[in-house]
Amino acid sequence: MQSTDSEDTAPRSASTDRPSQIALKFGFDPLLIETDSTRWNKEWEKALRSLAAGPPKEIFDLFGDVLGRLFAQHTNPDVEPVHWLQTQKDDVRKFQKITTDMYNMLDEKGHFRTAWILLDEKERQRHIQNGLREACDLDKGRAFFAFIDDYRKNITNAAPEIYIVQSAWWETVANSCGPLTESAETIVSSITLSRNEFIAAFAAHVGLSILKDFALGSPGMNPVVEMIDTEPIFARGIGKALANVRSKPLIRCENCTKSPDMIEGSPKFMMCSVCKSKLDFVVHYCSLTCQKDDWRNHKKHCGRQKVSKKLRGTVNDPYWMHPDVPEYVRDSIPSPAENVAITDLGFPPPNHSRSYSPALQRQIMLCLGDKNVDYFLFDASDHPIRVYLPPTTTRWLFREMRTAALSSEPEHGVLTMGEYLIKRMSDQPGLSRERILDQLGREYGEDMKAKITQFETFSVVGGVLPGSTFLEKMGENVTTMMPRLSNP
């Protein structure tokens, strides 16, 4: 991939020396972004909080006076306000085109999304800062990509017009001015376009900053690119998993299960004060009515035990950070936060949507009878041979695959588990590759035998070295990435 100089690709303002009106008003140096980005961010947040708390018309007056004088200075018809606004629209359109074209190109192989998620937090902040710096010349992980995805979609939907990002706060500012004169309407339009030019420039320059690192390399990007190149399957998988992690739990009513956005007016939810004060345990209700309705269930535990419905996505759901965790995992595999021993991970309750073969029913009963055994294989005399995996992440993953094999979508679990058993147990006394395949065929279906064989070839293509297995490789990668998985 060839590098692209942002100065040759993205339009730049002709007035980069123009002072920030907000910085002038509140007395701080906007160039702090170059030397002390933390202080720069705090100064801006302080200024914006002050503006948000003040009269809405204050922000209009702040920029309106400057723009009004600027418009009044122009007598050349080529720079009358109507032409000025068209120039701003053209700049917004250029940045929006760069944004959609660039992210669409990078998304074709999925590398950009994966790299962004796998980057260290400081590296993501560096690219965000680069985008802000370039956007400021014009006057955090998952949240950014959610913004980019939504922004690209809205740009496409708005075409051939430019997309204007809506803001309830700015609408309040504009409406606070009352009926607008022609001059005031021009000023409002100009400020609106300037705001959208900034947003478009920010999105474009963050992408260009990362594109540069992809092409030329950097200390932060190099290990990510190496993982994408050497472990493409794992990198895409872990990138997707991290991209879907929630940053905070949902709030849902313990009685009606609704969240604030599902109720008109998005009301502020209340919580059980007794559980909070005595147990530091949160149980939310959307109203007094729902709290009263749920009292017959809650009173048995109120202030005495940390008991709730563990509604999906709420703080009491062990998997609240992972919305895509399937039901079979929720039912049978405790969250890492629950600190449950690997030997306590058993089979889930029977899945009534599918039938189990007699051979598989036998496997389930044997494993339930001895939780220390990871699997049972059988020799020619049908004597059970106990399989024990080393106490590593691979063992935890094997048990997860064993559980997945009983779900309504068993194939991934069966293939991963089958490849491991064939490669690690075929040379054991009384066993062979054919015998293990035949057993798995009896347990999970004859068609699985050919699929397991195909999966062996697939795992080699995916980067599994000779003598290793897909499960062990996945265990090594998960161990390496565990700090990121625990603290996304």
Give pLDDT tens digits for 400-453.
888 888 877 788 889 999 999 999 999 999 999 999 999 999 999 999 999 999
- Say which residue the tokens 């990002």 belong to: 165
Residues 265, 261: Cα–Cα separation, whole Å: 8
133 token code pair: 């710096």
Per-residue model confidence as pLDDT tens digits over 447-475: 999 999 999 888 877 677 788 898 888 88
Q: Is the pLDDT of residue 68 over 60?
A: no
Residues 382, 438: Cα–Cα separation, whole Å: 13
CB of 459 within 8 A of CB of 216?
no
Q: Which residues make Cβ contacts (< 8 Å) with residue 431, sequence separation at least 6?
A: 377, 379, 385, 425
Q: Provide the H-helix boundaries in 380-446.
A: 393-404, 411-425, 433-444
126 token code pair: 């560096």
99 token code pair: 């944004």
Residues 440, 452: Cα–Cα separation, whole Å: 9
Cα-Cα-Cα-Cα dihedral sign, residues 59, 62, 65, 70? negative
Show contacts of 52-59: CB within 8 Å, 24+ apart: 52/169, 55/176, 56/169, 56/172, 56/173, 56/175, 56/176, 57/173, 57/176, 57/177, 59/173
Q: What is the pLDDT, as a whole number, of residue 3?
A: 36
Reply yes or no: is the peptide bond before residue 390 cis, omega within 30 of 0: no
Residues 317, 37: Cα–Cα separation, whole Å: 37
CB of 387 within 8 A of CB of 377?
yes
Residues 128, 145: Cα–Cα separation, whole Å: 11
Q: For the chain, give every domain's residue range.
A: 6-243, 252-316, 340-486
Of 195, 221, 202, 198, which Cα lies nearest the Cα of 131?
Answer: 202
The residues facing 387 across adjacent strands are 375
Q: What is the mean pLDDT of residues 147-175?
A: 80
What pTM was estimated for this model as a whole?
0.49
Per-residue model confidence as pLDDT tens digits over 354-405: 688 999 999 988 988 888 999 999 999 999 999 999 888 889 889 888 888 8
Instruction: Using CB atoms within 10 Å of the CB of residue 355, give its burial: 0 to 12 exposed, 13 to 18 middle, 19+ buried.
Output: exposed
Residues 405, 417: Cα–Cα separation, whole Å: 9
337 token code pair: 């936060």
Q: How many CB atoms lie within 10 A of CB 406?
A: 22
For residue 137, name the pLDDT band (cuts at 50, 70, 90): very low
Please report how many Cα atoms fall inside a 13 Å half-sphere around the Cα of residue 432, on the Cβ side: 4
Residues 337, 335: Cα–Cα separation, whole Å: 5
